Chain A
Amino acid sequence: MQSKEPFSIKRFFGKKSNIFLLVEGIFFAWFIFSFLIYPNLNLFADVLFSGGLGDNINKILESERAMQAIKNSFILAISMCVTVNVVGTLAVFVTEYFDIKGAKLLRIGYMSTMIYGGMILVSGFKFLYGEVGMFTKLLQAVFPDVAHNWFEGYGAVLFIMTFACTTNHVIFLRNALHQIDYQTIEAARNMGASTSRILFRVVFPTLAPSYLSITILTFIKGLCAMAAPLIVGGTEFQTINPIVITFVKLDYTRTLGSVLSIFLGSISFALLMGLNYIERRGHYMSISKVKTRIVKQKIKSPVLNVLMHVLAYFLFLIYVSPVCMIVLFSFTNTRAINTGTLSLDAFTLDNYKMVFSNPDNYGPMLTSAFLGVVSVTLVIVLILLACRIITKYKQYRVARSLEFFLLIPWLLPAILISVGLLQTYNGSQWTVFGATLGGTIFLLILGYVVNKIPYTLRMTKAAFYSIDDSLEDAAKNLGAGGFYTFTHVLLPIIIPTILALWALEFNGTLGEYDISVLLAPTTMKTLGVTIKTLTTDNYDPNSTAVSFVYAVIMMIIAGLVVYFVYGRKGASNNVRKTKHMIKHIEKMKRLKAAKG
């Protein structure tokens, strides 16, 4: 454990490793000030001191619609905390904990939300349950009384958001589940505990930290829901974020948009700080150092077993059908897409021809893939360094405030952050030693990096907390230096999380528009901007169909990335890495003994 001795400058510089820490500290201070605080200072000052703050708050309070939308956002966020956890837990447990036939296939289905999201995901659901959707038509054929807009409002938004937001479970809860020491489960069983008792007394309590993080992230996602309420919310269930984004995009209403967005951001911020407090207070992981790999549990009751199988495949269908719909409709014309009618003559290859006949349409895919690789790798390296400081020196206030500052981008939507960066770094700027970043690729990458920081930090930190301190101490006692311990002991444990994060963030960058359009150098075309210019402005009625072709292409690229992270070795990775690490420690022990 870290000693809690008071900070002493003399002792601090006395240690060699602290010079490294000092460099890190200076770097982060510079980075945070230059790219997180300084570009947004004007905006914050405008919001807080322009005198319009009271007016703006009044405007919101007086608007029935805005108040209702805020209320709805909270209702959605709270309900999602329940539903996402239920569905997410089911999805993870049927593939990883219980012995269900075809678990591999099921897992692929449950992971589908890793490769698409936002408007495309909601469109997929709408093809099925929307007013011209296939499922709706089927339903109406059986029950003629079903209203065409049955899939609208609170229930529909919650349904879509629930299935869209289980990604965190599928990645992080799964990782946590694999780190449970199976011996604890065995022991409980030997003492005669039932399946449910084991679940509720042994398994779930061990997973509590993961649940806590995921629940808070789910809450934030619910609060900031955008596509689902816009498309299926109807008049009764609109949420606040679409209003925020509309306001932020207009000069005149920007301050009002910022007020709302800082309000939403502060709630996320407060929740995360609360989570930090809980995490700091208790280090309650019961993860074993010498792990026994988890063995899948057979469900003994045949009735329950059948029920579980049915449920698992039912979930699978819900997850997979929207993806199939998008692929299917990418081969049809716009009329079929908008009216939901499929006939043989609606099928066409024209959409694909249009995209692939022009090199200008697929060159941007490479550009965006490159930008994704660079920026995601950068952000992950940055956050690993930060997490190292935050978790290692958690008793110092400086380390804690580092995290606080790194969460700043969560306060503002991407578009505002980009405008701030562009305005600040367009000319020569003293914070970057007089350089001009505007119009260069560096500013664009910076924009991506800054926007990814909060989520990456949150998830990486959760992974760091799952590491037992004694592992690090053991390595240290054996003579390993701080950096060696980090790269050879800690990193292998969290690598599954890091890779998953890498894949997720990369997939999110592929079609990014708001940041790219503002910060990209003039000669660079990113995929998001290309799609937008091909598909908006309504000039071409077929643009909707073309956007589905792009959706399919992005799903394929994203799917490949996920495959490389997950597909090959799968779950065994985790255990293998741990074994490797233990072997390493033993080897060092021997070396030390030989030296001695």
Chain B
Amino acid sequence: MKIWRSITCSLLVCAMLLGLTACGQKDPGPQQDDSAAIDISGLTEEQIAEYKAMPLVVYTNSGAGGRADWWTKKAKEAGFTNITIVNGGASAMAEKIKAERENPQADVMCGLNAMGWTSLKKEGLLVQYVPVWADLIDEGMNDPDGYYHAIAKEATLLVYDKNVWTKDEAPSDWLDLWQDENTQYHGTFQCWSALTGGTTQSNLTGILHRYKSDADDALYGVSPEGWDQIKKLYTYGVSAEGDVISAIAATTGSQQNVHCGQWYSSGIKSYSETYEVELDYVVPEVGVPYNITGCGILKGAKNPITAALFLDWYGGTQFQTQWAQAWDTAPVNREAWEAGASENAKTYTSLPQQQIDWAWAQQHMGEWVEYITLQFMK
């Protein structure tokens, strides 16, 4: 009996001590002054190889569908032998970075979109570093202060079933779909049932941006006319069931009249093949919203020099060309785009770009999601 008691007693004490000892090795903290921009210009070849082999942790949300494994392999081939890639959803990774502020675990973030980057920059979680390929990117995509740089772009498009509408019959803009007089389009598109997806947020921003307003009657940065559009969208849209392309393909059920919807450019080919539908897309006069992924070094990176070397490689022409060829993406690096992007990707990414103030969108997105979820959604 006593043995039992003392065993449990000591187990409890052990459990308490666990916290004390098991994880007691505290990191000495970042060795370099990370408020200054990183400079790697003076490194010799040997030093570079040495730095590359140091441990590097990369967070990303662009690793789905086997991509993460593929680029881990490529990174190792390029000399980053100690790389660890942590893959997760965009919001989860951003959340993780923010929560780990006091004890950063990662050196580099790859992925997100303009809104995500704006938010990280605003919270002071990034370190300035301008990679060698920064000049190969179109103006307006990189952070002017050098905190993050663009990697790939993706258009959010209004796609429709070619066999239902001709080019003339199809709407010419999102707004056409829900105007009271355009009864032919009512019930032919889905309204959002969740507002957390990247494509949905970029589309929502594209629509609301036209009604950006600072006037007194504006609500959350959007004029009343803008909110009227959202109201109509929910009045005339069909509640979503399944993804948009499967809805367009459906010939029975609640989605049988859905003929158009939002889709991201790189998914058009594979999805239309899977569902055997023929799709065309609409280019509104204001242009199409582009989602731009990027990369940046996180504040508190343990090996900022390795991180900088990694960035130089990751966004560089060679790797981005391979990436585009393997996964059909559209790099923003001009050289890689020319060399690696498929004809398909080129078509979708040379469309006129809608000019969007992403900082404004980032600032208001939470309010929009709350307002629409509580007031309009059905």
Q: Which residues of A contact B (CB under 8 A)?
A: 17, 20, 23-24, 27, 30, 34, 59-60, 62-66, 131-132, 148-149, 234-235, 243, 246-247, 249-253, 256, 333-335, 338-339, 358, 360, 385, 419, 422-423, 426-428, 432-440, 442, 480-481, 483-484, 487, 517-518, 522-523, 529, 532-534, 536-543
- 6 extra interchain contacts, Cβ-Cβ under 8 A, other than A438-B105, A541-B274? A20-B9, A243-B373, A253-B369, A335-B274, A419-B95, A541-B271
- B12:A23 contact, CB within 8 angstroms: yes
Within the complex, which residue of A63, A249, A335, A522 is in contact with B105, where a contact is CB–CB below 8 Å?
A: A522
Residues in B neighbouring A538, C-beta threshold 8 A: 199, 243, 264, 267
Complex interface: chain A residues within 8 A of B367 (CB): 252
A27 with B12, Cβ < 8 A, contacts A247-B373, A252-B370, A439-B105 known: yes
Q: Is B164 an interface residue (CB 8 A)?
A: no
Q: B366 is contacted by which of A149, A253, A360, A438 (Cβ under 8 Å)?
A: A253
If the complex has contacts A63-B375, A434-B24, are A426 and B252 also in contact, measured as CB distance less than 8 A?
Answer: no
Interface residue? B87 (CB, 8 A): yes
A422 contacts across to B, CB distance below 8 A: 96, 99-100
Return B174 CB to nearest CB of chain A, in Å: 20
Smallest beta-carbon distance A151→chain B, Å: 11
Cβ contact of B16, chosen from A27, A253, A439, A484, cutoff 8 A: A27
**Given A234-B239, A426-B103, A541-B274, A481 and B1 contact (CB-CB distance below 8 Å):** yes
Question: Do A247 and B99 touch across chains, with their CB atoms under 8 A apart?
Answer: no
B13 at the interface (CB under 8 A from A): yes
Q: Which of A360, A423, A433, A437 contacts B69 (CB 8 A)?
A: A360
Determine the chain B residues whose CB is within 8 A of the CB of A434 once the complex forms.
20, 24, 26
CB <8 Å contact, A24 and B86: no
Query: Of all chain B residues, which has the CB nearest A537?
Result: B64
User: Of A335, A360, A539, which contacts B65 at CB under 8 A?
Assistant: A539
Chain B's closest residue to A56 (CB) is B370
Knowing A334-B274, A483-B1, say if A533 contacts B68 (CB, 8 Å).
yes
Q: Which residues of A contact B140 (CB under 8 A)?
A: none
- In the assembled complex, the CB of B364 is this many whole angstroms from the nearest CB of chain A, namely 9
- Contact between A250 and B196 (Cβ–Cβ < 8 Å)? yes
Contact residues in B for A529 (Cβ distance below 8 Å): 87-88
Can you name 16 A-B pairs with beta carbons within 8 Å?
Answer: A24-B12, A59-B370, A131-B241, A246-B195, A333-B274, A334-B274, A422-B100, A436-B103, A437-B23, A439-B105, A442-B19, A484-B4, A517-B92, A522-B105, A533-B87, A540-B65
Determine if B377 is an interface residue (Cβ-Cβ < 8 Å): yes
Q: How far is the CA of A253 from the CA of B365 in the complex (A)?
A: 10
A247-B370 in contact given A435-B22, A437-B19, A518-B95 (Cβ < 8 Å): yes
Residues of A within 8 A of B92 (CB): 517-518
| Interface status of B183 (Cβ within 8 A of chain A) | no
A484 touches B1 (CB 8 A): yes
Q: Is the CB of B16 within 8 A of A30?
A: yes
A438 nearest CB neighbor, chain B only: B103
Cβ of B234 to closest chain A Cβ, rounded Å: 10
Is B208 interfacial (CB-CB < 8 Å)? no
Q: Is the CB of B102 within 8 A of A426?
A: yes
Q: Given A251-B366, A533-B87, are A432 and B12 neighbors across the interface (CB < 8 Å)?
A: no
- Provided the pairs A426-B102, A432-B19, A442-B22 are in contact, do residues A536 and B242 lie with their beta carbons within 8 angstroms? no
With A335-B274, A437-B19, A517-B92 already in contact, the answer to whether A252 and B99 are too (CB < 8 A) is no
Q: Which of B50-96 contact A (CB under 8 A)?
A: 57, 61, 63-69, 84, 86-89, 91-92, 95-96
| Choice from A251, A335, A385 contacting B275 with Cβ under 8 Å | A335
A541 to B370, CA, bound (A): 30
B196 touches A20 (CB 8 A): no
Q: Are A23 and B274 in contact (CB under 8 A)?
A: no
Min distance, Cβ A251 to any Cβ of chain B, angstroms: 6
Whether A533 contacts B64 in the complex (CB less than 8 A), given A59-B370, A252-B369, A439-B103, comes out as yes
Say how far A453's CB is from chain B's closest CB, in angstroms.
Answer: 15
By a CB distance below 8 angstroms, the chain A residues around B36 are none
Given the known inter-chain contacts A63-B375, A253-B369, please indicate yes or no for A442 contacting B5, CB distance below 8 A.
Answer: no
> Max chain B CB contacts within 10 Å: which of A247, A335, A338, A432?
A338
A145 to chain B: closest CB distance in Å? Answer: 15
Is B373 in contact with A149, judged by CB distance below 8 angstroms? no
Q: Is the interface of B mostly helix, strand, loop or mixed?
A: helix
Question: Which of A149, A483, A522 lies in contact with B57, CB distance below 8 A?
Answer: A522
In the complex, are the beta carbons of B26 and A428 less than 8 A apart?
yes
Q: Give every chain A residue within 8 A of B370 (Cβ-Cβ).
A: 59, 247, 250, 252-253, 256
- Please tell me if the beta carbons of B377 and A65 are within 8 angstroms of each other in the complex: yes
- Check A517 against B96 for contact (C-beta < 8 Å): yes
Within 8 A of A (CB), among B249-278: 249-250, 252-254, 264, 266-267, 270-271, 273-276
Q: Which residues of the other chain, B, contact A518 by a CB distance below 8 angstroms?
A: 92, 95-96, 99
- Residues of the B chain whose Cβ atoms lie less than 8 Å from the Cβ of A419: 95, 99
Which of A59, A338, A481 sits near B5, CB closer than 8 Å? A481
Q: Which chain B residue lies CB-closest to A486?
A: B4
Q: Is the CB of B64 within 8 A of A338?
A: no
Would you call B88 and A532 a contact (CB within 8 A)? yes
Closest 7 CB pairs of A and B: A252-B366, A432-B19, A63-B374, A427-B102, A131-B253, A481-B1, A541-B274
Answer yes or no: B246 CB below 8 A from chain A CBs.
yes
User: Across the interface, which residues of A come within 8 angstroms of B373, CB to CB?
Assistant: 65, 243, 246-247
Is B274's CB under 8 angstroms from A132's CB? Answer: no
Known: A27-B12, A149-B254, A517-B89. A438 touches B369 (CB 8 A): no
Q: Judge whether B254 and A148 touch: CB under 8 Å.
A: yes
Contact of A149 among B19, B243, B253 (CB under 8 A): B253
Does B106 touch A at the CB level, under 8 Å? Answer: yes
Complex interface: chain A residues within 8 A of B91 (CB): 249-250
* B378 on the A face (CB < 8 A): yes
Closest B residue, CB atoms, query A516: B88
> Roughly how many angstroms separate A533 CA and B57 CA in the complex, as a whole number?
18
The answer to the question of B215 belonging to the interface, with a C-beta cut-off of 8 Å to chain A, is: no
Please name all residues of chain B whose beta carbon is closer than 8 Å to the beta carbon of A63 when the two chains form the complex: 374-375
Q: Is the CB of B101 closer than 8 A to any CB of chain A?
A: yes
Residue of B nearest to A360 (CB): B69
Judging by beta carbons under 8 Å apart, are B88 and A540 in contact? no
The complex places the Cα of A40 from the Cα of B66 at a distance, in Å, of: 36
Mark B198-214 against chain A: 1 for CB-CB distance below 8 A, else 0.
01000000000000000
Residues of chain B within 8 A (CB-CB) of A251 are 119, 366
Beta-carbon contact of A480 and B95 below 8 Å: no
**How many angstroms from the CA of A67 to the CA of B352 in the assembled complex?**
43
Cβ-neighbour of A438 out of B67, B89, B100, B375 (below 8 A): B100
Inter-chain CA distance A63–B377, complex, in Å, is 11
CA–CA, A27 to B18, complex, Å?
A: 12
Restricting to B276-309, which residues have a CB under 8 Å from any CB of A?
276
How far does the Cβ of B348 sit from chain A's closest Cβ, in whole Å?
A: 15
A130 to chain B, nearest CB (A): 8
Contacts of B96 on A, CB cut-off 8 Å? 422, 517-518
A132-B253, A439-B105, A534-B65 as given contacts; A541 in contact with B375, CB under 8 Å: no
CA distance A339 to B275 in the complex (A): 9
Q: Does B35 contact A (CB under 8 A)?
A: no
User: Cβ of B16: which chain A residues have Cβ within 8 Å of it?
Assistant: 27, 30
> Taking the nearest CB of chain A, how far is it from the CB of B315, in angstroms?
20
Chain A CB count within 10 A is highest, among B5, B15, B67, B101, for B5
A541-B270 Cα distance, complex, nearest whole Å: 7
* Chain B residues positioned under 8 Å from A65 (CB to CB): 373-375, 377-378
Query: A148 — which chain B residues lie within 8 A by C-beta?
Result: 252-254
B196 / chain A contacts, CB cutoff of 8 Å: 246, 249-250
B residues within 8 A CB of A438?
A: 100, 102-103, 105
